[in-house]
Amino acid sequence: MKYSEYFIPTLKESPADAEVISHKLMVRGGMIRKLAAGIYIYLPLGLKFIKNIENIVREEMNRAGAIELLMPSVIPAELWQQTERWYHYGKELLRIKDRHNRDFCYGPTHEEVITDLVSKEIRSYKQLPVNFYQIQTKFRDEIRPRFGLMRGREFIMKDAYSFDVDEEGAELSYKKMYDAYCKIFERCGLDFRVVEADTGAIGGSFSHEFMVLAKTGEDEIVTCNNCGYSANLEKAPVLKKEYSENISNEKELTLEKVYTPDVKSIEDVSKFLNVPKNKIVKTIILTDGENVVAAMVRGDYDINIVKVKNILGWDVVFFATEETVKEVTNAPSGFAGPIGIKCKIIADYSIKGLKNFVVGANEKDYHFKNVNFKDFEEVEFYDIRNAVKGDECPKCSNGTYELFRGIEVGHIFKLGTKYSEKLNATYLDKDGKERLIVMGCYGIGIGRTAAAAIEQNHDDDGMILPEPISPFKVYLLPVNYKDEKIKNITDNIYEKLKEKNIEVLLDDRDERPGKKFKDADLLGFPYRITVGKKAKDGIVELIYRKNKDKKEVKVDEIFEWIK
Ligand code: ATP
Ligand code: MG
């Protein structure tokens, strides 16, 4: 491809709304342009990049035996009402009406459509197992679309759905997808971890996320430094052990209410009362919109609201509004405590055995000190805190947790019969008995994978695209394309590369060399061949974008290298 015949509108400056590097570089590199919040146009170079990822995904899905189809993005509401997700999915679901005032939604995920299809088309065990996938545009009306393609509202996803006769079969299908996903992200040239994950709004019993490691990742993950067990922080279990620092021969003192004007944060309380953070207990009011619970965690740890949600069997969980806090504590937020609170209380293991601690007094500007468990209603203990670096690994007990940041690029779920029950997806077994189909579902964010590749691979000058997914492999840069000698050598190399089907971008623009070098670095294709002054001696320069290693090579050697 010749630059002058293509369209790569590079920019010097990053757009004002870009917070993360992949967003900045994709806009500056002429890959994407914003149309509206979270909605992007894929320019030719961006599309080529995305298609390379799609091709790897498609090849590995086919290899794993999944079958490609394409579902509509506009879905009738009835299907979503049948699974009740119409009522639970919330505002992320873009709901629309047609001219007859019938309800539809724009698909954020396609369990309903595919299960409905299977319920109508599949009758016998002989047609199972089967796994259908598509690569398609989704819409989720994200509360805070940001970071370019990383968290868009409209985005491209590969979603697959497996259907099996029983649990055992479903596990096999799950394993196949697990392996295919590992292959996909390896082939994309990305450094990733597979972590145990929460199942979220999709539901189901079991799930893994595929995380591209990057300092800028939105997700926190833990990995055991001994056995390698990995989990999303939302999910990472903490051993239910006795906390040695809680156990003491201290005498239980008498409860005392203290005036703590404007003292709210754990930090402030600790300073004001001169007690260590691990002797202060936070009480956090949580709700699913209907029920309210107070969750107690030691001051030096963070509450894990996903664990609370799962323990209570809630579908969703939120921090309670100021109004709800007032209802159950009679006080503004910041002073909640277990004594006299008007809701169920649960506590983290981290406070078990603790004596003479500090809690909020359910009264503005007051705390209780010398609090002991006898001072309030009995509580049940659970693991409801975030894991921290150094926590013992619950799987091997020999290692401890390390913390990393990651970007979730893929997510696989074992669904069980959640959707087949609701949509009546059954089959007849060998004995002619009707049984429910057992499902799994599997997603990869194609655009997010592209963005994650850049988050993981860049430097101050631009992108460093992994070779397997880079839209072009070689940036061919004649310093002055008008110079006869330079032009001849450049064209020669260009033809040879094309003969070998190596994607090359020839920068034939009439621009200053400085501008061309800058753009080459910005676009970050793995190799650059510069044809400059030494061309008259048959010498060109080969540059590796990754480490900027430079080599002067004879033109003949370049032909060898290309081979
Ligand atoms: P997240 O927790 O990041 O919101 P999710 O758990 O809602 O993602 P899934 O329902 O598991 O996402 O969707 C499958 C994949 O689709 C994700 O692993 C991710 O790669 C991609 N994806 C999800 N939401 C977005 C988005 N808003 N923009 C781009 N890609 C997305
Ligand atoms: Mg997910």
From first to last of its 563 residues, the chain has per-residue pLDDT tens of 999 999 999 999 999 999 999 999 999 999 999 999 999 999 999 999 999 999 999 999 999 999 999 999 999 999 999 999 999 899 999 999 999 999 999 999 999 999 999 999 999 999 999 999 999 999 999 999 999 999 999 999 999 999 999 999 999 999 999 999 999 999 999 999 999 998 765 555 679 999 999 998 999 999 999 999 999 999 999 998 777 777 888 899 999 999 999 888 999 999 999 999 999 999 999 999 999 999 999 999 999 999 999 999 998 899 999 999 999 999 999 999 999 999 999 999 999 999 999 999 999 999 999 999 999 998 999 999 999 999 999 999 899 999 999 999 999 999 999 999 999 999 999 999 999 999 999 999 999 999 999 999 999 999 999 999 999 999 999 999 999 999 999 999 999 999 999 999 999 999 999 999 999 999 999 999 999 999 989 999 999 999 999 999 999 888 888 77
28 by Cβ neighbours in 10 Å (0-12 / 13-18 / 19+) ranks as buried
192: which 2 tokens? 């990733």
Q: What is the DSSP letter of 246?
A: G
Please work out whether the CB of residue 22 comes within 6 Å of at least one atom of ligand 1.
no
Under DSSP, is residue 396 helix (H, G, I), strand (E, B) or coil?
Answer: coil
CA of 44 to the centre of ligand 1 (A): 24
Name the residue with the closest Cα to ligand 1, atom 4: 151
Name the residue with the closest Cα to ligand 1, atom 16: 445
Under DSSP, is residue 113 helix (H, G, I), strand (E, B) or coil?
Answer: helix
Element (H, E) at 35: strand 32-36
pTM given for the model: 0.90
Please work out whether the CB of residue 202 comes within 6 Å of at least one atom of ligand 1.
yes
Q: Is the peptide bond before 332 cis (omega within 30 degrees of 0)?
A: no
CA of 165 to the centre of ligand 1 (A): 28
Under DSSP, is residue 176 helix (H, G, I), strand (E, B) or coil?
Answer: helix
Would you state the pLDDT for residue 205? 62
CA of 135 to the centre of ligand 1 (A): 14
Would you state the pLDDT for residue 561? 83
Identify each DSSP E strand in 480-559 by its residue range.
504-506, 527-531, 539-544, 550-554
Specify whether the CB–CB gap between 456 and 191 falls below 8 A.
yes
Would you state the pLDDT for residue 202? 57
Of 383, 402, 407, 404, the closest CA to residue 392 belongs to 402
Please work out whether the CB of residue 383 comes within 6 Å of at least one atom of ligand 1.
no
CA angle centred on 390, ends 386 and 393, rounded to 5° = 80
Specify whether the CB–CB gap between 410 and 182 falls below 8 A.
no
Note the ligand closest to the C-alpha atom of 219.
1
Would you state the pLDDT for residue 203? 56
The neighbour count for residue 69, using CB atoms within 10 Å, is 11
Please work out whether the CB of residue 107 comes within 6 Å of at least one atom of ligand 1.
no
C-alpha–C-alpha distance, residues 11 and 30, integer Å: 7
Specify whether the CB–CB gap between 93 and 83 falls below 8 A.
no
Buried b (16+ CB within 10 A) or exposed e, 267-298: eebbeeeebeebbbbbbbbbbbeeebbbbbbb
Name the residue with the closest Cα to ligand 1, atom 31: 445
Q: What is the DSSP letter of 2?
A: B
Name the residue with the closest Cα to ligand 1, atom 2: 408
Under DSSP, is residue 47 helix (H, G, I), strand (E, B) or coil?
Answer: helix
Residues 6+ apart with CB under 8 A from 528: 474, 475, 476, 477, 520, 541, 542, 543, 545
C-alpha–C-alpha distance, residues 303 and 558, integer Å: 59
CA angle centred on 230, ends 308 and 382, rounded to 5° = 25
Q: What is the DSSP letter of 371?
A: E
Question: What does the DSSP assignment read for 114-163?
Answer: HHHHHHHH--BGGG-SEEEEEEEEEE---SS-BTGGGB-SEEEEEEEEEE
Please work out whether the CB of residue 148 comes within 6 Å of at least one atom of ligand 1.
no
Would you state the pLDDT for residue 200? 67
**Number of the ligand 1 atom closest to the C-alpha atom of 210:** 18
140 by Cβ neighbours in 10 Å (0-12 / 13-18 / 19+) ranks as buried
Buried b (16+ CB within 10 A) or exposed e, 457-473: bbeeebbbbbebbbbbb
Please work out whether the CB of residue 385 comes within 6 Å of at least one atom of ligand 1.
no
Would you state the pLDDT for residue 244? 74
- What residue spans of 460-507 are helical by DSSP H? 484-499
The dihedral region occupied by 365, where left means phi > 0, alpha psi between -120 and 50, and beta the remainder, is left
C-alpha–C-alpha distance, residues 202 and 110, integer Å: 10
What does the longest C-alpha to C-alpha distance in the chain come to?
A: 94
Element (H, E) at 453: helix 446-456
What are the two backbone dihedrals, phi and then psi, of residue 136, each rounded to the nearest 5 degrees? -150, 160
C-alpha–C-alpha distance, residues 138 and 152, integer Å: 10
Specify whether the CB–CB gap between 224 and 239 falls below 8 A.
no
Q: To 10 degrees, what angle do helices 21-28 and 446-456 make? A: 100
Please work out whether the CB of residue 447 comes within 6 Å of at least one atom of ligand 1.
yes
Residue type at position 398: N
What are the two backbone dihedrals, phi and then psi, of residue 472, each rounded to the nearest 5 degrees? -125, 150
CA of 58 to the centre of ligand 1 (A): 19
CA of 471 to the centre of ligand 2 (A): 27
C-alpha–C-alpha distance, residues 390 and 395, integer Å: 14
Would you state the pLDDT for residue 204? 57
Note the ligand closest to the C-alpha atom of 407.
1
Specify whether the CB–CB gap between 444 and 504 falls below 8 A.
no
CA of 445 to the centre of ligand 1 (A): 6
556: which 2 tokens? 């003949």
Q: How far does CA 120 lie from the centroid of its chain?
A: 33
